[in-house]
Structure 1
Amino acid sequence: MQTVWSISSRGIAISALALSLAACQSMRGPEPVVSTNTPESYASYGNASGTSIAEQGYKDFFADQRLLEVIDLAIANNRDLRTAVLNIQKAQQQYQISENNRLPTIGIAGSTTRQVSPSQNPNNPYSTYQVGIPQTTYELDFWGRVASLKDAALDSYLATQSSRDATQISLISQVTQAWLNYSFASAQLKLADQTLKAQQDSFNLNKKRFDVGIDSEIPVRQAQISVETARNDVANYKTQIAQAQNLLNLLVGQPVPQNLLPQQQVTRITQQSALSAGLPSDLLNNRPDVKAAEYQLSAAGANIGAAKAQLYPTISLTGSAGYASTDLSNLFKAGNVGWSIGPNISLPIFDWGTRKANVKISETDQKIALANYEKSVQSAFREVNDALATRANIGDRLTAQRRLVEATNTTYKLSNARFRAGIDSYLTVLDAQRSAYSAEQGLLLLQQANLNSQVELYKTLGGGLKANSSDTVTQQASSAQIQAAK
């Protein structure tokens, strides 16, 4: 093995190494200006006073201990969340690879060669043995290409973490709403059972009146229609209960124990009496999907730096060392050692614009990431405002619906009394009974919508990432933020 070394090459190598280790020039350029056109405050129906409910851990926000146990089971076993965690591990290893690319790869290799030389005793073949460190290359990152790739990998890793957090927030909301669906489907089934019993009693009464010749067959058939309608509702709500339980089992990742399911109508979902949305600036910090889009935007900027760096020469240090001998027994003797080290520079002259096209592509990718980030911010504000709009009017709707239930129940009682006294026909009773049943069904739906709106507001504000309010959530800086702080 030849030894290649000179004063000039030594100076070049040492100087290049010192410059590379001292600093590298970032080529990523300025970060784009974000323009989301979002309002400085929520709509007028929003309660911005106080701290956002998203700052509360889900164990402090939700009131029912059974629900909290179901949520904990879901976080531990849900397959979507498990996949998100595995994606984090994958992104972490990819980031480690990008970090390792900044260091030279060192290994060991050995070989033996049996050969014959026509000019040196062609009738006597000989063997050559070699062992040592084969040629390795270390890129001197003058233009920040490797560093930019490392920054992009870091941002992608952080975005994957944020996506996992967004999955958890969505999961908690889905589990809670499925749990409420089970509760209110059970309440609707109870109401349908009660209505079916009342309709059956009316049918029996009308049939007796028909049998003794007091009324015609028409009231009997009208009562039968109501009975079959109620019986159909009973079967429908039994189906809804089974479907709600199946959804819960899927979200939790295992069968939910029966003792954790609500056995009666849930009347309260949270321990909070006032649901504050906080300030709009809190939303950008609390929503992990917005943070994920921000990290992706930063990664796009880092990729621009890597693409621009490829426009400049690539400077590397190459070297090798080892032993070589034609006699295996003398392989490791001092006279058989050889090594080489020196700089290497490469720059494609004619690539027909490929590298410049890559820069254009990375710049377009950044514009796409910017648009996605702006849309994620706008979507977050829209979701919060929608939830606040529901909260602003749900109280009036509930009050009106309760009064409607009282009115229809009173009308039903009066109509039934007049029918039994022979003053009105059964058709009046039938209409009043249907109105009362429909009003009570509507009240249950509104009560469920009220609880769902509380869950939805908590989710859209970014609540559910913390288990307890005292827990802290640390947002790591993106590579763009780190670059700006330098």
Structure 2
Amino acid sequence: MSRLRILAVALAAAGLSACTTLAPDYQRPAAPVAAAWPAAGAAADTVAADSAWRELYVDERLQALIERALEHNRDLRVAALNIEAARAQYGIQRADQLPSLALGATQNAQRVPGDLNSSGESMVSRQYAVTLGITSWELDFFGRVRSLRDAALEQYLASEQAHRSARISLVAEVAAAWLQLAAEGDTHALAAHTVETRESALRLIRASHDAGVAGALELRQSEGELARARADLAASAARLARARNALEVLAGGPLAAQWLPQHLHGDAARLAELPAGLPAEVLASRPDVSAAEHRLRAANANIGAARAAFFPRITLTASSGSASAGLSGLFEGGSRAWSFVPQLTLPIFEAGRLAASLDLAEVRRDIAVAEYEKAVQQAFREVADALAERDSAVATVAARSAVAEAAAASLKLAEARYEAGVDGFLVLLDAQRTHYTAEQELIAARLAEASSRVTAYKVLGGGWQ
């Protein structure tokens, strides 16, 4: 049989083996969630798309920082390498569908002792061969190899979604850490300004005390407020350093000064409108849900491989080449040699191993279904919570702004009444504390509102499109 005939037989068998698979028909499980978002979040906002995070995070410093993190973050690098590993595994499984041609050159030398030879003398025989052939190629009539290939493909696609999820999470984490750093900077500036105010007030109280106008109680209270303000300043400095350290870890290295935020402002994140009542479409864009479905498809394909194991397995080994007893006559006329070895293996008794393998594949499919449904439910809950928090955060900022404005106005009145001698120092002190607390709460509310936008970006799988 010539090499062309062997190749023709192999290709014909490949065409027949690619026609079937015993995997169950895949049907996406129904999403076990409500048909629409809760009313509380129906009018909330979100972003355009994963690839358009620049449209959400409009600050150029934050954009530069995110780009650096996407390039240097170690966790994201691990996720990318996992994709490469899954791609390689898929390539291995896909290659099993086609015959592997190999060129081999062999020499077989054998010495026979004299007492085993009819001539009574020892002799050495040699045989040389050069062959091109196929080794143990399985004809996939029942789709076992094809099912394994499909499973590897779905695992590869799931790893891609895992990488996309890691990328979205990293973008959100960098943005959240950047906003946290901005908020800590504002808190630190507020604490520093408070220390300056308390120092100025203490100087005035001490001067009044020396002049016999202010009492010792007022002096001690002013000293206590200054010490408390200095303690707050030291604590805010530590939080500011920790926030910067966390951001550097996410960015993968030290931060340049031009990337750092100056203040926490409301337009650090800009959002587009989210259509209400479309949970299925929104959840489908989440990479974790998509990855769970790919794993479900892989488990479904593995059932086909387990079913095919009950049927005969046919493998081909074939080669064609030249063989000779002498190296010089290897390619001379009459030295052509070939072999064709088909093999059929039919499982008869496996002590329940094949049935158990099929049961295991079906159970793993059922587990994958449950994990997919759990991923959908978790995604729905996270989105609903994020939308509710978004509405609450906007209302909280408005309320805290009003409180801060009222506290500032009260402080001015208290200062004027104290200077006019209408009220005592305790009234002024209470107004200062109220104003300081109101400003701190306003910064926290602004951070929560900006962070809710980041959370919406993350839980919607990069956004709505």
Asked whether the two chains share a fold, i.e. TM above 0.5, the reply is: yes
**Residues 31-63 of structure 1: per-residue CA shift (max 9 Å, x gap):** 366243211111102336999733771122222
Cα shift at 1:221:
2.2
State the alpha-carbon separation in 2 of the partners of residues 238 and 210 from structure 1. 33
Aligned length, in residue pairs: 458
Aligned-partner SS, 2:166: helix
1:323/1:331 contact within 8 Å kept: yes
Mapped to 2, the partners of 1:54 and 1:16 lie a distance apart of 47
How far did 1:220 drift? 2.2
- Distance change in 2, residues 1:250/1:50 (3 Å): closer
Corresponding position of 2:95: 100
Pairwise CA distance, 1:202 = 2.2
Per-residue CA deviations over 1:435-482 (Å, capped at 9, x if unaligned) read 1101110001101111111121122212279xxx9xxxxxxxxxxxxx
Give the Cα–Cα distance (whole angstroms) in 1 for the partners of residues 147 and 205 of structure 2: 84
Alpha-carbon shift at residue 209 of structure 1 (Å): 3.3
The alpha carbon displacement at 1:278 in A equals: 7.0
Alpha-carbon separation, structure 2, partners of 1:233 and 1:91: 51
Q: 1:253 to 1:141 in 2, by over 3 A?
A: same
The letter of the residue matching 2:109 is: T
Correspondence for 2:119:
121
Aligned amino acid, residue 96 of structure 2: N
Supply the distance in 2 between the matched residues of 1:325 and 1:15 (Cα, whole angstroms): 27
* 1:267 Cα deviation after fit: 2.7
Instruction: State the partner residue of 1:21.
Output: 15
Residues 216-265 of structure 1 show CA distances to partners (whole Å, capped at 9, x for unaligned) of 43322222221122112212222222222222222222322211222233
The answer to whether the aligner puts 1:110 opposite 2:106 as a matched pair is yes
Please state whether the residue corresponding to 2:173 is helix, strand or coil: helix
Q: 1:348 to 1:272 in 2, by over 3 A?
A: closer
2:53 matched residue in structure 1: 58
Asked if 2 retains the 8 angstrom alpha-carbon contact of 1:53 and 1:278, the reply is: no
Whole-Å separation in 2 of the counterparts to 1:236 and 1:174:
23
What secondary structure, in the 3-state scheme, does the structure 2 residue paired with 1:45 have? helix
C-alpha distance in 1 between matches for 2:120 and 2:334: 26
DSSP-derived class of the 2:314 partner: strand
What's the Cα RMSD here? 2.8
Q: Which is further off, 395-404 or 415-424? A: 415-424
Summarize the alignment of residues 291-302 of structure 1 with structure 2, pairs less than 5 Å apart.
Answer: 291-302=290-301
What is the correspondence of 1:456-467 to structure 2 with a 5 Å cutoff? 456-463=455-462
Matched residue type, 1:116: V
In structure 1, C-alpha distance between the alignment counterparts of 2:8 and 2:415, rounded to whole Å: 103
* Separation (CA, whole Å) in 1 of partners of 2:118 and 2:411: 119
1:366 deviates by: 1.0
416-425 or 120-129, larger mean C-alpha shift: 416-425
**Structure 1 residues 368 and 284: alpha-carbon distance in aligned structure 2, compared to 1, 3 A threshold:** same
Q: Distance in 2 between matches of 1:434 and 1:268?
A: 29
Aligned to 2:352: 353
Q: Measure, in 2, the Cα distance between the counterparts of 1:164 and 1:320.
A: 44
Conserved in 1, the CA contact under 8 Å of 2:99 and 2:134?
no
Q: Is the 8 A contact 2:57 2:63 kept in 1?
A: yes
Partner of 1:392: 391
Alignment of structure 1 residues 253-268 onto 2, 5 Å? 253-268=252-267
Residue 414 of structure 1 and its aligned partner are, at CA, apart by 3.0
Corresponding position of 1:474: none
Change (3 A) 1:438 1:176: same
Which letter does structure 2 place at the counterpart of 1:87? N
Could you tell me which amino acid in structure 2 is paired with residue 389 of structure 1? A
What aligned pairs does 1:11-410 form with structure 2 within 5 A after superposition? 18=12, 20-22=14-16, 23-31=18-26, 34-47=29-42, 53-54=48-49, 57-107=52-102, 108-116=104-112, 118-133=116-131, 136-272=135-271, 274=273, 279-410=278-409
1:361-414 CA-to-partner distances (Å, cap 9, x unmatched) read: 111111111111111111111111111101222232222212211222233333
1:184–1:266: 8 Å Cα contact kept in structure 2? Answer: no
Offset of residue 335 of structure 1 = 2.7
Aligned partners of 2:14 and 2:98 also within 8 Å: no
Q: Secondary structure of 2:268's partner?
A: coil
Which stretch of structure 1 is more off in the superposition, 400-409 or 175-184? 400-409
- SS of match in other structure, 1:334: coil
Give 1:472's aligned residue: none
Instruction: Read off the aligned partner of 1:120 and give its amino acid letter.
Output: S
Partner of 1:438: 437
Distance 1:272 1:372 in 2: 31
1:97 CA displacement = 0.8
> Relative to structure 2, which stretch is displaced further, 231-240 or 370-379?
231-240
Q: 1:122 to 1:372 in 2, by over 3 A?
A: farther
Counterparts of 2:359 and 2:128 in 1: how far apart (Å)? 47
Query: For residues 82 and 184 of structure 1, do their structure 2 counterparts lie closer, same or farther at Cα, with a shift above 3 Å needed?
Result: same
- CA change 1:55–1:128 in 2 (3 A) is closer
Aligned to 1:480: none
Contact kept in structure 1, 2:47 and 2:273, CA below 8 Å: no
Name the CA distance, whole Å, in 1 between partners of 2:58 and 2:98: 53
Identity %: 38
State how far apart, in whole Å, the 1-side matches of 2:120 and 2:369 are: 70
Look up the SS of the partner of 2:145 in the other structure: helix
Give 1:153 deviation, angstroms: 0.8
Q: Secondary structure at the match of 1:441?
A: helix
Task: Select between 124-133 and 428-437 the one with higher mean Cα deviation.
Answer: 124-133
Distance 1:76 1:462 in 2: 20
Matching residue's letter, 1:408? A
State the shift of 1:171 in Å: 1.0
Letter matched to residue 108 of structure 2? T
Q: Distance in 2 between matches of 1:179 and 1:278?
A: 32
Query: Which residues of structure 2 form unaligned runs of 5+?
Result: none
The residue type equivalent to 2:346 in the other structure is L
The normalised TM-score by structure 2 is 0.90
The whole-number CA distance in structure 1 between the counterparts of 2:163 and 2:12 is 41
What is the TM-score when the length of structure 1 is the normalising length?
0.86
Task: Return 129-138 or 68-77, whichever deviates more.
Answer: 129-138
